[in-house]
Amino acid sequence: MIAQDIHDRLRAVLPASVPILLPEQQREPLDAAPVDAQGRPVVGGGERGLGTYLHQHPQGYVQVEFAQAIRSAGPLRVFWVAVACTTPTQDGCQFLMDWVSRTLIGIPGRDPGLYSEVTPGLPQPLALTSPLVWQARAVLQPLHVGGRLA
């Protein structure tokens, strides 16, 4: 429910060229392969995986992870959910994470969103990738009361 809410909010504002992946789609970038004109994977077509996925989606992608229950007190439940932006450039990563943050967290004190930030998403290079890939991973907390997002 939380992951789908995040997906829907981001899909409403991000360009269609930026994939927003649900938790069950985490392997999609890792399994990416070159495709032919009909969109089928090319056998023996060269590089596969994250580099290929980012080549197919040069603006990057957003990965919504599974929500983790942190605590419960009566009808109040606290969840944390990570949202990661992965792009081929540091500037692109920061731009995408800023967009995600404005959409989900809002502007604190002026236009708050439904989610609060537990840890900020700061662009960092992913180790052992060639070429270099950047990722910013924020942990967010929705307010969840009586089985509903509040």
Dist. CA 71–CA 122, nearest whole Å: 26
The whole-number average pLDDT for the span 50-70 is 92
Q: What is the pLDDT of residues 100-118, one digit of tens each?
A: 999 999 877 677 788 999 9
Q: Write down the pLDDT at residue 17.
A: 96
> In the structure, what pLDDT confidence band is assigned to residue 145 with cuts at 50, 70 and 90?
low
> In the structure, what pLDDT confidence band is assigned to residue 49 with cuts at 50, 70 and 90?
confident
> In the structure, what pLDDT confidence band is assigned to residue 92 with cuts at 50, 70 and 90?
very high
And the tokens for 136? 């910013």
Q: Write down the pLDDT at residue 83.
A: 98
What residues contact 43, with CB distance under 8 A and at least 6 apart? none
Q: Write down the pLDDT at residue 45.
A: 59
And the tokens for 55? 């080549």
Q: Give the lowest-confidence range in 30-34, 36-40, 82-86, 111-115.
A: 36-40
Give one DSSP letter per residue of 71-92, joined into a string: EEETTEEEEEEEEEEEESSHHH
More confident residue, 32 or 119: 119
Q: What is the pLDDT of residues 65-75, one digit of tens each?
A: 999 989 887 77
More confident residue, 6 or 73: 6
Q: Write down the pLDDT at residue 63.
A: 98
The whole-number average pLDDT for the span 89-100 is 96
